[in-house]
Structure 1
Amino acid sequence: MTVWKGKNPVSIETAKRVRQRLSGSIDMHGTFDMAILSRLRFKQLALVASLEVTTNLHESARELNLSQPGATKLLKEVEDTLGVTLFERLSRGMKPTAYGVVVARHARQIISETGRLKAQLSAMQRGEYGKVRLGAIMEALPGQVSELLMNLMETNVGPQISLMVSTSDNLISALNEGALDIVLGRPVEHLDMTGIRFEPLWQERLAVVAAPSHPLVPSKQLSLVDLGDFSWILQPRPSPMRMSIELAFAHADLPAPHYGLETSSMLMTTLAVGKSDMLAVLPQSVADYYQENGLIRILPVRLEEHMSRYGLLIPNKDEFDPEVEALVSLIRASV
């Protein structure tokens, strides 16, 4: 199995080998662990993380306030420490190897956790609860997330929440890089899920929506055939909703719907639908909310179910900060 990040294929086996080199064994008395701890430095990790993005040693050196010879030395040191080549030296810049992609991701996680440690200590000094970085797909907002946040604000007991709303693929990437603590979403097949465990909690249906003035709105019953002449607004691949609507058309032996706009923003989708004859698919809970506010109408067409359950996506680790565990417990209790 291969995981893709940009143009670089990374096998699951490669990711596991490099992860093992970075984390070492559980026994912190092992000589390999101590060799890594004594030789790896934050500036080396910051350079790897930056270089994967810039692919230019001079630019990364300037970004980190290093001389180019100093950056070259740091990169050689980290490659020697890990025993792998992280970047191919090309005539025009640097290209991350499969090892470089994995190490850069772990470097971002370590740097992110260091910033989180500082923020948590500052919050403790102010007598505040810690902050939890929660990611959520849009369909979780009208029910689970909004109720959870309202309860936390009303009781004033619990962690502070930093909320990121996006598609599952973006949220999983952020979770893998340490930018989020937990996610309410779905597994995505083409992403590296080896460091994440999934707890399915909720099932969500999809609804086809149109403007209140759309010519199909007065219809009592519709099929997918009736929708083929209209342009659509679709989420980008590989979002589960995009795959679900395309599978529904394929199973009905119909060509994939023609789309005039591709966006992951459900607000943009709703605004564009409301001002045109385009159609779109939304999670049922989101569609119900916008219909109640008069922005769209749900069309009487039933989609064959292809959406998997969504739920908690949690990093695989033995210990979490107390505020993260508290929020996970609250989410589980809400089901």
Structure 2
Amino acid sequence: MPMSFNLRHLRAFISVAEAGSATRASEHLCRAQSAVTRSVHELESYFGVELFERKATGMLCNAFGSALLYRGRRAIHELEQGVAEVASKSADPQARARTRVPAALLSERRLAILVNLAKHGHMPTVAKLLGISQPAVSAGVNDLEGDLGVALFRRTSKGVVATEPGVALLFRVKRALMELRHVEAELGAIKGATEGKVVIGALPLGRTQILPNAILAVLSRHPLLRIETIEAPFDTLANRLRAGDIDFIFGALRPADYARDLKGEPLLNDSMSIVVRNGHPLGRRKNLSLQDLDGLSWVLANPHTPARRLFSQSFCLQGLTPPAPAVETSDLALLRGLLLRSDMATAISTRQLEFEIGNGTLQALDISLPSTTRVIGLIQRAESKPSPGASALMAAIRDVVAEIRRPKAPAPQDVLRPVGEAMVA
């Protein structure tokens, strides 16, 4: 679990923050004032900070309390949305009328059971992972299903599978846990230390040059940060972004109408090139046309990838038939090996083969591929607030891109020539 503080304490804290006193919060929650006060003290002890300014007129959140309140409200809201979505699928009128988060859902153990059982589909595996008995796993599921009034899992010959209500609840639970995962990082940032874990969905165009430089820069400033990258097709990363598994995606943006719940921040343009080994028969020819490429043996990205579609489109726009590749792969290591050992050609962003082109083992042919420009940028959930660590890494990415785009100084022999922008194609 990404957090280990009690969610019931969190709900009590939110009520105190909104009511302005433990007395009024206890009335709202129908709990003893001493229990509400104890919940607040437990949270303050866990985080090692005071969350309120305590005055005769009431309790007011300080900076630490405000940070926890923001993330806590968002987490509870996600759980409430999950309850509402599950209730809408129930045949029980009482369950459909439920709006509050039931007590069973405010249990760390039950949330851990829900997430891990949906992931692994095997109760003994979940029991071993969580260090509890298999009957405890089964009881946790039964408690959730009993309070929510719907079946969250069904048993199959291959294991346990989440039902439609279970999938809906899991989506909201994971988003709630993502908010809570950021709490300690938020409080640490107030203390002056940017820390925590940042998970990035890394698409190919940014992985070779921009992202490594940004990671090194941000770790030099914030050594307590921990960074994880996840490499997968865009649609997979987008779904994991929505579910709260990753903080942001970096790579080629999709059209603005791709999804309303995602927002893209364009940073720079990138175009595809034809790349071959140094010494290739076409390597010294200038002003090549697409017709000059006839007869080449190709290694291209897999069908249905954006890169392949753009490559084919560049031929179709000139009334030509796109070449059929001898090899289809999205593995950069295999692509590199084939190019270095043969006269095969590929269509790719030169950023992805930056080191080989830089050391002269590969080269880009003197030819343009029309209509292959893509926009590289950052993608976040539209309503999300990134963690301090994610914000720092995105800022570092922007700095690296700004350096790439900065006009290059003229060489001494070129002082009379106009200086253009750094090449981004």
Q: TM-score, normalised by structure 1?
A: 0.70
Q: Can you list the C-alpha shifts for 1:212-238, whole angstroms capped at 9, x where unaligned? A: 243332433444455454443333455
2:229 alignment partner in structure 1 = 164
Percent identity over the alignment is 21
1:14 alignment partner in structure 2 = none
Candidates 301, 316, 328, aligned match of 2:367: 301
Candidates 247, 257, 260, aligned match of 2:327: 260
Structure 1 residue 206 displacement after superposition:
0.8
1:181 to 2:241 alignment: no
Question: Are the structure 2 counterparts of residues 39 and 96 from structure 1 closer, same or farther at C-alpha, using a change threshold of 3 Å?
Answer: closer
Moved more, 94-103 or 275-284: 94-103
Q: Distance in 1 between matches of 2:230 and 2:127?
A: 33
- Corresponding residue SS for 1:214: coil
2:144 alignment partner in structure 1 = 78
Does the CA contact (< 8 Å) of 1:138 and 1:167 recur in 2? Answer: no
Question: Are the structure 2 counterparts of residues 292 and 64 from structure 1 closer, same or farther at C-alpha, using a change threshold of 3 Å?
Answer: same
Q: Can you list the C-alpha shifts for 1:314-333, whole angstroms capped at 9, x where unaligned? A: 23335443343344455556
Q: Distance in 2 between matches of 1:109 and 1:22?
A: 10
Q: Can you list the C-alpha shifts for 1:48-86, whole angstroms capped at 9, x where unaligned? A: 333333333444344434444433332343345555544
Question: Are the structure 2 counterparts of residues 230 and 66 from structure 1 closer, same or farther at C-alpha, using a change threshold of 3 Å?
Answer: farther
Candidates 251, 269, 277, aligned match of 1:211: 277
Does the CA contact (< 8 Å) of 2:250 and 2:377 recur in 1? Answer: yes
1:130 alignment partner in structure 2 = 195
Structure 1 residue 109 displacement after superposition:
4.5
Where does 1:17-166 land on structure 2 (aligned, <5 Å)? 21-22=81-82, 34-36=100-102, 39-82=105-148, 84-111=150-177, 117=183, 120=185, 128-131=193-196, 132-141=198-207, 144-145=210-211, 148-149=214-215, 152=218, 156=221, 160=225, 162=227, 164=229, 166=231
The aligned amino acid for 1:257 is A
Structure 1 residue 296 displacement after superposition:
0.8
- Corresponding residue SS for 1:300: coil
Q: Distance in 2 between matches of 1:176 and 1:229?
A: 45
2:301 alignment partner in structure 1 = 235
Q: Distance in 2 between matches of 1:86 and 1:307?
A: 45
Does the CA contact (< 8 Å) of 1:246 and 1:257 recur in 2? Answer: no
2:267 alignment partner in structure 1 = 201
Larger RCO, structures 1/2 (Cα 8 Å, 6+ apart): 1
The aligned amino acid for 2:231 is S
1:315 alignment partner in structure 2 = 381
1:291 alignment partner in structure 2 = 357
Question: Are the structure 2 counterparts of residues 149 and 58 from structure 1 closer, same or farther at C-alpha, using a change threshold of 3 Å?
Answer: closer
Candidates 226, 232, 247, aligned match of 2:313: 247
Q: Can you list the C-alpha shifts for 1:298-322, whole angstroms capped at 9, x where unaligned? A: 1233222244422111233354433
Structure 1 gaps of 5+ residues are 1-17, 26-30
Q: Distance in 2 between matches of 1:152 and 1:200?
A: 20
Does the CA contact (< 8 Å) of 1:48 and 1:103 recur in 2? Answer: no
Structure 1 residue 286 displacement after superposition:
3.5
Q: TM-score, normalised by structure 2?
A: 0.57
Structure 2 gaps of 5+ residues are 1-77, 86-96, 403-425
Structure 1 residue 98 displacement after superposition:
4.3
Structure 1 residue 162 displacement after superposition:
1.9
Q: Distance in 2 between matches of 1:203 and 1:23?
A: 43
